[in-house]
Chains A and B, each alone.
Chain A
């Protein structure tokens, strides 16, 4: 029999341990902040940063080229006017969703394992939404008129069209970015204060001091802080569901075959969470290996993420098959054609990449062995990322390329500028992410301490008769240490 790591057991009588090898708060601070306080980051960090920075510069160059030359440098054409920019927009917004799911929805459900991954999932959200926002911004053609998206009084007496889903998107994504940023920052204040109190250099003391706003851990402050955090979680939960629903309205409110379906909002939300968790996993696995955060991001955390990927992947698979069923059941010739064309038309290769990555790949997580193998997880998460990009490609391109009238059909091919811009957005994302890992608290230190058994003022050192199982054991260990 294969043996699995200690905390991945499913014995319902025992609460699984979420933090390994730590019995006091100080060592938790030390180990997590070692990521920031170690004199030098691992060599691979410099290497990754150099590549990411080069790719980010490429993004800048491509945007410059676009601005000076015009949108003709892209493969966008008539009928496929959306092309790569909108595919990438939906892809990146989707990635962001896991961060809010972890920080808000799992918080409301009291899923304590979220504390180990919420901080960098939230960071991922912010950086992904920055990447997402870039694409529609440069896709509008005359970039210098981007402010027309906002309702600003002007001498032309001109207002945005509030009945258009594209404008709903401006508000949804704008709100999402702002709320995610607030959530991230609010959660980080106590940890920034911890960093401020431990720094050795003047510059860091000033920077972290300013960022932490003079947080001093007052319980009267914590009281309001916890209330604010709960309120933000309660607000972010419907928000995260609304954002990708609104993104899906961009498609569903139009009348194009393959887009005009009521299944789109829930299907997009499930897909977003699916792709976001895959990205969290893609980032978490190397991060915990490189910085030795294995006591916090344990195998149990990764296993839980695998389960979420399995669930949402299956929901996405269900949505794919339901789309096909309804296309046939409705008896609508255009709708039926749109789906047969997806699976067997000029873009069938993209469709089958999508199905094999998104529907078949996650099914491996039915097996506990796969959920406990770092290699399988990592490969599967990469495949899911690929699959989810192709999902958006299939949705955007196939419906636009072949709509009602064969005379208006076209074929879409990206140019090298499209591809370089897309790759460049990964550079932007990774540059921000690598800088975040090094300079900001990568795990939610205060929250992790608060879920340790020792944090309970009524457990440890009080009366053992109130406790059972593991809490007793760990409390006794803690007592021996003192």
Chain B
């Protein structure tokens, strides 16, 4: 389908090789084969999450849900502390400024009334979980990252539109330029692209 790629990038500047596919079965089966061939440093750049592709690539389940659980727990405990300290106890604390709890007595309501504290505890649990979910994803994905060899290549612009790319990185222990290229060609791609660091 495509000819031998011209070796225009010096070895030390080579980030990896990318194979371009035009449909989802193509990238799916290619990812399976790449994983079976024993490559570890590879990735797929796709315009939308192709169903099951992460499993085909052998991506491990993310730790994100655990992080979100602890984020939510933090929010819950913080809300309980905040409400009980400020409205129910008469104690002094040193935060940025000295802070003092205040025993609020309003229309004979109990000082420690858990029912009244439920809504705020719930909201802060959700708030902290959601913040952890979003910023945890950014953190695990190492975003924002404004420079990346994949973004640099003009040939891979369509990765956010309608093409599917499989990239094997040069730092993979099994990476040998000509072998990888021949292997990618055997997956029946539209083209094979060199990526510069």
Enumerate chain A interface residues (CB-CB to B < 8 A). 24-26, 29, 151, 153-155, 157-165, 167-168, 171-172, 174-175, 178-179, 182-183, 185-186, 190, 193-194, 196-198, 209-210, 213-228, 231-232, 235-236, 238-239, 242, 246, 249, 446-447, 449-450, 454-458, 460-462, 482
Contact = CB atoms under 8 A, between A and B. Distances in A.
A186 B52 CA distance: 21
B65 A227 contact: yes
B50 A446 contact: no
Nearest to A482: B22
B52 A457 contact: yes
Contacts of A164: 106
Q: Which secondary structure dominates where chain B touches chain A? A: helix
A216 B148 contact: yes
B83 to A, nearest CB: 5
Contacts of B70: none
13 contacts: A157-B99, A159-B102, A162-B82, A162-B104, A168-B120, A210-B144, A214-B148, A224-B64, A231-B65, A232-B134, A246-B119, A446-B48, A449-B162
Contact of A168 (B50, B119, B127): B119
B183 interface: no
B126 A238 contact: yes
Contacts of A220: 43, 54, 57, 59, 141
B133 A162 contact: no
A196 B109 CA distance: 56
B176 interface: no
Contact of B157 (A197, A232, A446): A197
Contacts of B50: 219, 450, 455, 457
A223 B59 contact: yes
A251 B156 CA distance: 57
B119 A242 contact: yes
A155 B95 CA distance: 12
A151 B83 CA distance: 9
B144 A175 contact: no
Contacts of A154: 97
A153 B43 contact: no
Nearest to A163: B116
A224 B47 contact: no
Contacts of B1: none
A481 to B, nearest CB: 11
Contacts of B113: 163
A25 B65 contact: no
A33 B72 CA distance: 37
A376 to B, nearest CB: 35
Interface in B97-148: 97, 99-102, 104, 106, 109, 113, 116-117, 119-120, 122-124, 126-127, 129-131, 133-134, 136-138, 140-141, 143-148
B86 interface: yes
B25 A153 contact: no
Given A163-B106, A219-B45, A194 B62 contact: no
Interface of A is mostly: helix
Given A163-B106, A228-B136, A457 B27 contact: yes
B44 A218 contact: yes
B15 interface: no
B25 A446 contact: no
Contact of A194 (B59, B126, B160): B160
Interface string B35-50: 0000000011111111
B53 interface: yes
Given A161-B104, A164-B106, A174-B123, 7 more contacts: A153-B95, A157-B100, A165-B119, A179-B127, A186-B134, A213-B146, A218-B44
A457 B28 contact: yes
A236 B22 CA distance: 36
A198 B127 CA distance: 35
Chain A CB within 10 Å — which of B22, B150, B160 has the most? B160
Contacts of B123: 168, 171-172, 174-175, 239, 242, 246
Interface in B3-52: 22-28, 31, 43-52
Contact of B87 (A162, A168, A178, A449): A162
Nearest to B28: A457
B102 A158 contact: yes
B168 interface: no
The 8 closest A-B pairs by CB, nearest first: A25-B162, A457-B28, A213-B144, A26-B162, A159-B86, A219-B44, A168-B119, A457-B24
A151 to B, nearest CB: 6
Contacts of A217: 45-47, 159-160
A446 B47 contact: yes
B179 interface: no
A165 B109 CA distance: 14
Nearest to B122: A242
A159 B130 contact: no
A317 B113 CA distance: 35
Nearest to A157: B100
Contact of A219 (B43, B127, B136, B157): B43
Contacts of A249: 119
A175 B128 CA distance: 9
Given A153-B95, A163-B87, A224 B46 contact: no
Contacts of B28: 457-458
Residue among A154, A163, A164, A179 having the largest count of chain B Cβ atoms under 10 Å: A163
Given A158-B102, A175-B127, A242-B122, A450 B48 contact: yes
Contacts of A227: 62, 64-65, 137
A198 B59 contact: no
Contacts of B49: 219, 222-223, 225-226, 446, 450
Contacts of A446: 47-49
Given A162-B83, A219-B43, A447-B48, A178 B64 contact: no
| Residue from the set B51, B123, B138, B158 with the largest chain A CB neighbour count within 10 Å | B123
Given A194-B47, A214-B151, A172 B119 contact: yes
